[in-house]
Amino acid sequence: MSKYGSLNSMQQEAVAYTEGPLLILAGAGSGKTRVLTYRTAYLIEEKGVNPYHIMAITFTNKAAGEMRERIDKLVGFGSEGVWVSTFHSTCVRILRRYIERLGYDNSFTIYDADDQKALMKEVCRRLQIDTKIYKEKNFLGVISSAKDGLVSPEQFARQARGDFVRERQAAVYREYQAMLQKNNALDFDDLIGKTVELFEQVPEVLANYQERFRYVMVDEYQDTNTAQFRLIELLAGKYQNLCVVGDDDQSIYKFRGANIQNILSFEEIYPNAKVVRLEQNYRSTQNILDAANGVIAHNIARKDKALWTDNGQGSRIDFRQLDTAYEEADYIIRDIQGKVQGGKGSYGDCAILYRTNAQSRLFEERLVVANMPYRIVGGVNFYARKEVKDLLAYLKTIDNGSDDLSVRRIINIPKRGIGATTIGRVQAYAEEQGLSFYDALQQVDDIQAIRKAGGKIRPFVNFIQVMRSKLEYLSVSQVLQEVIDGTGYVKELEAENTEESRARIENIDELLSKAFAYDEAAETPTLSGFLEEVALVADIDSLQEGSDYVVLMTFHSAKGLEFPHVYMAGLEDGLFPSYMTILSDDLADLEEERRLCYVGITRAMSDLSITCARQRMIRGEMQYNTVSRFVQEIPRHLLGRGKTAALEKSQKEVQPQSFREAVSKVKPIFSTRNTYQSRNVSFPSANTSKATLEYQVGDRVAHMKFGEGTVSQIVEGGRDYEVTVDFDKVGTKKMFATFAKLKKV
């Protein structure tokens, strides 16, 4: 395999297996991107596959860019023919060509989270829903989950019959989707769902892409949801040359719709699939890997594997239990300071990870006092800032006049004296006539109710029309510059002459730089293409490598990154895992939290520090927590000397051997305000026997939270039964019989 000799034996096996389904279980730091790029080269050079027939798909722009760069470097001439893209970018490219088959125009707008919220407010207004009682955010969450599961508004409505709350959600979903189509807009979930719909409804389009993509490779497969799985299944349906790469132990996005069963059930879906395990880690020391292996081994729903490395044992893990959260923050900041001053690393080598964003405050305060540079990952996205969204709304209106949200956003920016009453009357006219909001503005002379306001509206309409007429001969950056000049947006900010206004002007300059860069890089730059590229930028892609500052982020944000020195803060029962997770009767919730802990541990390259506090202020109350059960699951010999006293003390309270024993002995967090002291939280003993189960596989059962479902599996697990139930409304859940309290129906 000549050039492939630098790969280890398992990597070589994965690269050389090219025909038929292949599951590559790639542990953290095992070189999965390297395998995918070399596999692409092998297909082209050794198998004679035309690059045009190869697709490599992943989740983030950063990952796709890295893969693109590596493939180009490795393959050389012809590599540009390989389709390397994210899921969403792939679907946008397909929909731009064929979405007319589904009743949309090809110049559709992509709505971000803020756009969705604005649209949902309008939906609730139309349906006369009190948003003080029924939150827009909750409706959006329900709709997103439905779309991830490929449940249409019609299907949702059928499933909701007889349930008042679900019927209300169904009405909102139906109106929300209707307004999206009226605005010729798609949200991010639609990008996947509409592509699947297109493939299923228009067989010739599917056949075209199946013929093109004869070899499909999917990265981060454990993060796919039901819609993404269906998309891949359809694309690979003809040739079955599907290679998926992922790590079930790093599946941490259930809250975003990720379905871990996609990777766990791959061999059931593709019985002839080959499985290759990549267990050699190139990132971390063996002590760090042994800690990660020790924690994740407590999960039941996983593929068996254990990471190992040639990097040496490394230093032991530094575990500290501090008295307070303030002392915890102080210890971590001083330790980082010591490493930098001692020449053991730079600020940029250090990352502080925590479970919730609220935990960042204490670290920020200490970093400021210590005069240390830092950056929080996951702040306000550049494209979510007001001035940027305003100018993008102008561009969207010029590109797609059907987008009512964008038109309404800018009709009074800058101020034109058009009041809410006038806007409401234009909207009413649009609804009566079946027009978009912008089309109604164009007919302002026919709207009797607004009278004098017509003189304020016409200049806005004229400006948009003039800009549309210039699209043929102006570049995107020139269009943006004319919008800035024509609206006087920057002049107003200059007149303010404040620190905030200057910062906003800098953001506008940065947007212009982005437009210039797009004009130079795109083969055929268009306004639609620019807006599409902007819409698909992810928050995590904004992390700049090589900058010398301490990074603060949640465990979720850290996935896919690595740092020489990692600090895992707040490892306490009640915080990580959360108290709600501990009390949940769904085993999957705790297992997902444990996978999140595993991800945190495997971010560390050479040094790992784990900290917790005996007491911390949460929601204004002082709470006292025991050491996290996840720390308990780390083998004792991996912890630095003298650091295990806290564990030995808390061992009597939380046993590390198993979830069953641990959860049966959990003690409630109590407050100095006696909030919890009056509560007696107790669990039944885990001594369920076969004779006590009143149901068996195939029986219908009822759960007090999840409703009715069918028992699909019962597994004896030591002192309790693990019961899997396919619930009618919430899907499949795995739980312990003792805590589930299922009733046969």
Residue pair 667/626 in contact (Cβ under 8 Å)? The answer is yes
CA dist 729 and 725 (Å) reads 11
CA dist 68 and 60 (Å) reads 12
Helix (DSSP H) and strand (DSSP E) numbers for the chain: 32, 20
Nearest CA-CA partner of 58 in 220, 263, 254, 188: 220
CA angle 676/678/680 to nearest 5° reads 90
Nearest CA-CA partner of 608 in 318, 179, 347, 333: 318
CA dist 323 and 327 (Å) reads 7
Helix (H, G, I), strand (E, B) or coil at 193: helix
Report which residue type is found at 280.
Q
**Which CA distances in Å does 623 have to 153, 329, 500?**
44, 17, 39
Q: Which amino acids are annotated catalytic?
A: 32-33, 219-220, 250, 603
Helix (H, G, I), strand (E, B) or coil at 564: strand
| Beta strand segments in 247-379, E | 274-278, 318-324, 350-354, 374-376
List, as own/partner pairs, every contact residues 63-70 make where C-beta atoms lie below 8 angstroms and the sequence separation is at least 24, other chains included.
63/33, 63/219, 63/220, 63/560, 64/89, 66/33, 67/33, 67/36, 67/37, 67/219, 70/33, 70/34, 70/37
C-alpha gyration radius of the chain = 28
- Name, in order, each residue with C-beta under 8 angstroms of 9's C-beta and a sequence gap of 6 or more: none
Length of the chain: 745
CB atoms within 10 A of CB 530: 23
